[in-house]
Amino acid sequence: MTKVEDLYELGDAPEMGTVPTRMYASLIRQERYGQPIDAFRTEVVDVPPVGRGQVLVKVMAAGVNYNNVWAALGSPLDVIAARQKAGAAEDFHIGGSDLSGIVWAVGEDVRGVRLGDEVVVLASRWDESAEDIRLGGEPATSSSQRVWGYEENYGSFAQFAVVDDYMCHPKPARLSWAEAACYMATAATAYRQLFGWPPHTVRPGDPVLIWGGAGGLGSIAIQLVRHVGGIPVAVVSSEERGEFCVKLGAEGYIDRRDFDHWGRLPDASDEAAMNRWLAGARAFGRRFWEVLGERRAPRIVLEHSGADTVPTSIYMCDNAGMVVICGGTTGYNGDVDLRFLWMRQKRLQGSHVAGVREAREVTRLIDQGVIDPCLSRTFGFEEIGLAHQLIHDNRHPAGNMAVLVNAKE
Ligand SMILES: NC(=O)c1ccc[n+]([C@@H]2O[C@H](COP(=O)([O-])OP(=O)(O)OC[C@H]3O[C@@H](n4cnc5c(N)ncnc54)[C@H](OP(=O)(O)O)[C@@H]3O)[C@@H](O)[C@H]2O)c1
């Protein structure tokens, strides 16, 4: 691989196969941890080396995800300190767990991708030689699994990004760079939540409750459930977001502002408080029936909102159904009334990112036009902090957002 000693402006690059020494990147540093709008700053850093089985991608556009709100806050994990503890030298974080781009250089032993390929990336990285994988474990659940662009450095908020070859998937040709960059992390995660945990996969006629229906995960989940004949019911916090969900295929929506039983459960021995909580949960359940048009409970509940909503999710879930959770936006103390769990034989299932097959399958559905990636807004490179601040404040537009990096539009 030839290297050229140079720095190029965004949008410019040397000949394919050659790589400048330095690049522009949007960095988070520990002294800037805090509100996302102030945490990101464009700096110049060295282009990272490309190892065995890795490719260097010229980033055309990057996706915006919740994980880099957490990275900007430095909480609940100080991602820079965590990596340094594990031996990394860098005192900065380059976030970004979604991209669309062009394979610009390839390392040794790369399979499945070639120079010039237009790709999107699933941000899940693992060590293919890890013992649990060699023993037959699914790579997505390996103890070596890390989220690239969050737990791992050198994400997509930079001119170039280094990824492992298996993380790449063909970019759907019908999509713009921004559309292609916006969807993978949320779409593949939602896909695994809905189809990755048999026998609790969505079947025709299954009611499915979807928290944050207008969010990144929710907007894709609504379409996936409808695609296989399930009945998605969205939860939102505004009429506008509710209408957005209905346009995507939701049977209807519940406005969570109409209820106030959110948060941690009262102590089970406090009968009066427990009865007040139950009244709230029952009212929410009745609203679900109204929207569904029949008295059935959701067979699957798609969770990510966490502490505020987990008690309601467990209560709402049908007998022998599943609450599948991939996040804890409002907190990690998700209280479970165990009586509902065991007496009604429900399943509480953790789910994290996705595997290669799931990423490929959801990309095919997007490529075929069955699923809309729901690009809501495209930002400039200097607006990365703003995009994350909007998510942090829950003021972001419905769907998934992207940032132009080397692409002009
Ligand atoms: N583990 C993984 O692999 C993985 C992958 C993707 C995302 N996640 C996590 O999943 C979460 C959501 O991600 P996203 O991309 O969908 O984010 P998003 O686009 O911000 O959507 C989240 C939605 O949650 C809703 N919400 C906010 N506060 C709420 C509350 N108190 N109660 C109920 N709903 C609330 C909001 O909708 P309304 O205000 O309209 O209700 C918001 O639109 C984040 O915590 C993220 O880190 C995890």
Question: Is the omega angle on the peptide bond into residue 199 within 30 degrees of 0, that is, cis?
Answer: yes
256 lines ligand 1 (CB under 6 A): yes
- Which atom of ligand 1 is nearest the CA belonging to 218? 16
Predicted pLDDT of residue 13: 87
**Ligand 1 center to 202 CA (angstroms):** 21
Residue of minimum CA distance from atom 40 in ligand 1:
236
Q: Which residues contact 223 (CB under 8 A, 6 or more apart)?
A: 248, 249, 370, 371, 372
Torsion 95-100-105-107 (CA) sign: positive
Give the HSE-up count for residue 372: Cα atoms under 13 Å, Cβ half-sphere. Answer: 18
pLDDT at 219: 98
Centre of ligand 1 from the C-alpha of residue 400, in Å: 11
- What is the whole-number distance in angstroms between the Cα of residue 216 and the centre of ligand 1? 7
pLDDT at position 5 is 63
> If you measure from the C-alpha of residue 397 to the centroid of ligand 1, how many angstroms do you get, rounded to a whole number?
13
pLDDT in the model for residue 4: 64
| Cα-to-centroid distance, 43 and ligand 1 (Å) | 30
User: What's the rounded Cα separation, in Å, for the pair 46 and 26?
Assistant: 13
Residue 76, preceding peptide bond in cis (omega within 30° of 0): yes
Number of residues that make up the chain: 409
| Residue having the nearest C-alpha atom to atom 46 of ligand 1 | 66
Cβ 222 under 6 angstroms from ligand 1: no
129 alpha carbon – ligand 1 mean position (Å): 33
Structure tokens at 393: 């404040």
CA 350 to chain centre: 14
What's the CA gap between 291 and 295, in Å, rounded? 10
Task: Find out whether the beta carbon of 186 lies less than 6 Å from any atom of ligand 1.
Answer: yes
How does pLDDT run across 364-387, given as a tens digit for each residue? 999 999 999 999 999 999 999 999
Asked if residue 334 lies in contact with residue 310, where contact means CB atoms within 8 angstroms, the answer is yes
Ordered DSSP codes for 371-399:
S---EEEEE-GGGHHHHHHHHHTT-SPSS
- Residue 328 alpha carbon, nearest atom of ligand 1: 45
Question: Is 192 touching ligand 1 by the criterion CB < 6 Å?
Answer: no
Distance (angstroms) between ligand 1 centre and the Cα of 163 equals 26
Q: Does the CB atom of residue 305 touch ligand 1 within 6 A? A: yes
pLDDT value of position 75: 93
Among 73, 258, 305, 362, the mutation site with the greatest number of ligand 1 atoms within 8 A of its Cβ is 305
Ligand 1 neighbourhood includes 58 CB (under 6 angstroms): no
Inter-axis angle of helices 356-367 and 216-227, nearest 10: 80
Residues of the chain with pLDDT under 50: 1
CA of 161 relative to ligand 1 center, distance in Å: 26
